[in-house]
Amino acid sequence: MITTGIFGGSFNPIHNGHVELARQLLASAGLDEIWFVVSPQNPFKRAADLLDDEQRLKMVELALEGEPRMHASDYEFRMPRPSYMWHTLQSMSRDYPDRRFVLLIGADNWERFSEWYAWRDILSHYRIVIYPRGGSAVDAASLPEGVSLVDTRLIDNSSTQVRQLIAADRPINGLVPDSVASYNSCQLYTSEAARERASVGRRGCRCNIKT
């Protein structure tokens, strides 16, 4: 049985912190692999805030090149929207009976876990691994059976920060893999996103990368 961690998110865009966290989770949570499940619509986020699904998936694929135990997944693209993790996990379990799925979530999401759709069902059917997030404290001793807290390093990166820097035409060196930074879609995070979408095929990326 393959133990597969499910790392779900908008990845809007994926950044170096996501990849480094996954490396640490592979080492500390007893996982064989991690699937980066790109969410087409997060129930807690407005769809208008998201870059195109396929472009976010492409950036995840680029970011994971050279990481054989990490895989980009478009599984939720075929699910009803908005996407709920309970539905995703149940469907995956049916489609991949050779895998044992483990849900990977940050401490901030654990604090809101009782707001998740069918959260009790997730708890009773799947192992959950919580990783630390700044500003969120989790008492490991109080966690229910099947839920554990791992000691991964806090990484001060965020997709919001990347989007804001791109919109301000400021450098994003070290925040995203070079392959992601050079991908044309990164210019769609500018404040003139609509005009950028129309011109994306006619010119190179505006992302500010110093070499």
Q: What does the pLDDT read at residue 145?
A: 96
Give the pLDDT confidence score for residue 196 in this predicted structure. 46
Per-residue pLDDT of the chain (211 residues; tens, 9 = 90+): 999 999 999 999 999 999 999 999 999 999 999 999 999 876 666 666 678 889 999 999 999 999 999 999 999 999 988 889 999 999 999 999 999 999 999 999 999 999 999 999 999 999 999 999 988 889 999 999 999 999 999 887 889 898 888 888 888 888 999 899 888 545 667 655 534 433 433 344 444 433 2
Predicted pLDDT of residue 205: 43
Whole-number pLDDT of residue 163: 86
**pTM, whole model, 2 decimals?**
0.86
Report long-range pairs for 150-153 (Cβ below 8 Å, ≥24 apart): 150/24, 150/25, 150/28, 150/29, 151/28, 152/21, 152/24, 152/25, 152/28, 153/20, 153/24
Which 3 state secondary structure label does DSSP give 209?
Answer: coil
Cis peptide before 82 (omega within 30 of 0): yes
Is residue 4 within a helix (H) or strand (E), and if so which, with residue range? strand 2-9
Cα distance between residue 53 and residue 122, in whole Å: 25
pLDDT of the residue at 186: 56
Q: Is 66 helix (H, G, I), strand (E, B) or coil?
A: coil
Q: Which runs of consecutive H residues, i.e. helices, occur in the chain? A: 16-28, 53-63, 85-95, 107-111, 119-125, 159-167, 178-181, 193-199
What pLDDT, on the 0 to 100 scale, is given for residue 209?
Answer: 38
Instruction: Please check whether residue 186 is in contact with residue 166, taking contact to mean a CB–CB distance below 8 angstroms.
Output: yes
Q: What is the reported pLDDT for 190?
A: 64
Task: Using DSSP bridges, classify how beta strands 147-149 and 127-131 pair: parallel, antiparallel or unpaired.
Answer: parallel
